[in-house]
Structure 1
C-alpha cells in the first residue's frame, strides 16, 4: 500500500529539538510536501511503519523511537541504512557529538519522537 504522511521529527532530549518536518519542504506552490513510501518496503524506521499500518487517513499519532530501533550503531547509520527523508547529517551531528557521547548523553539523545499524520493510503 502506498501511503503519504506529514511528520514533525524531534529529539526527546534537547528540549524537543525539531530536526525535520515535511511541513518545511514546499512545492512550487508553497504547499508542504508529504513523505511518500510503500508499506513493507523497508524504507522507513520500523516504528513509523508499524504506527502508520494501524492509522486511518486523517489520523495523527506520536511515535517514540528508541536509539536501538533508530540506528544501527554509533556509525551514525539509521535503520534502514538508506532512509533519507530528513537532514541526516544535522541530526547525527547532534546525537553523536563526541562531547555529548563522552558525557554519557548518547542513549538519551538518540531517542526520536515523530508526530505523524496519515494524509493518504492507496493500493498501487
Structure 2
C-alpha cells in the first residue's frame, strides 16, 4: 500500500523549531517563600455612609489576604518564568556538537549531570521524549506517557551496548552523567533500522505512523531516506547499575 505524504512532511526546515524549543522535561520547582492561599472575594459593604466596624475589619482582612495571594502568585510566576527562560536561552545560544564515534549524532547538553558515567554492560535508566523530524517534530513516544498502577511515569531501562536499542540513544547516553539531560539529533543511519529496535511506542497508532513514515517504500525509492528517519530525543539519565 502506497502512503500519501502529508503537507506537514514538507516543512522547509523541520528541525528549526524543534532544536530551539525549551526542554521537554519539567524543571525542578524551587521552594516558594509563601504558602499559596486562595484569594478571598473582597467584601463590598451595601451601606456606604457608615460602615460597621465588623465590616471594615472583614474588608481589611480580605484585602490583606488578597494582597498576600497576589504577591505569592507573582513571585512564583517570576521564579518559574526566569528558570524556563534561562534554560530556553541556553538551548538557543549553545551550539550542538558531534558525539565522537557516533555516526553523526549531534548533541546539546540542556542540563549537565553530576553523577557517574555509564559504560557498556551497565543497566541504565532514562526518561525520554522522542520526536520525528519528518512530521514537524511530532512526538511519537515519551516515558512520561507510560504510567504504573499508581499513575507514576515508568522510565525506560536497557543494558548499554546490548544492541537492542537504536544506536543514536546508546551513543547519547554513553557520555552522559547521571542527573543530566541531553537533546540529540539522530540521523537515519543511527535511528530505527527495523521495527523491533527499542524504544518501541506502546500505542499501536503511534507505532504504525512512526514506522510507515520511516520505512515508506515509495518515498525511500524517491531518495528521501536521508530525511525520513531523522529523530530528536530529549534524554534524562536517571540512574545506572554496574
- Which TM-score tier does this pair reach, normalised by the shorter chain? 0.7 to 0.9
Aligned equivalents of 1:106, 1:26: Cα separation in 2: 34
Structure 2 unaligned residues grouped into runs of 5+ = 1-121, 202-206
Aligned equivalents of 1:60, 1:30: Cα separation in 2: 23
2:230 aligned with 1:93: no
Specify the alignment match of 1:30 in structure 2: 151
Specify the alignment match of 1:122 in structure 2: 241
Distance change (3 Å), C-alpha of 1:16 and 1:31: same
Aligned equivalents of 2:162, 2:220: Cα separation in 1: 32
2:166 aligned with 1:45: yes
Post-superposition Cα deviations, 1:7-37, rounded to whole Å, max 9, x if no partner, equal 0110123220111111110001101100001
Report SS of the residue matched to 2:189: helix
Deviation at 1:98, TM superposition (A): 5.3
2:117 aligned with 1:5: no
Most deviating of 1-10 and 89-98:
89-98
Specify the alignment match of 2:189 in structure 1: 68
Greater strand share, 1 or 2?
1
Deviation at 1:110, TM superposition (A): 1.1
Larger Rg: 2
Specify the alignment match of 2:77 in structure 1: none
Cα root mean square deviation, aligned: 2.0
Select the residue among 164, 175, 194 that pairs with 1:54.
175
Greater helix share, 1 or 2?
2
Aligned equivalents of 1:71, 1:83: Cα separation in 2: 6
Deviation at 1:109, TM superposition (A): 2.2
Most deviating of 83-92 and 12-21:
83-92
With the length of structure 1 as denominator, give the TM-score of the two structures: 0.80
Aligned equivalents of 2:192, 2:199: Cα separation in 1: 15
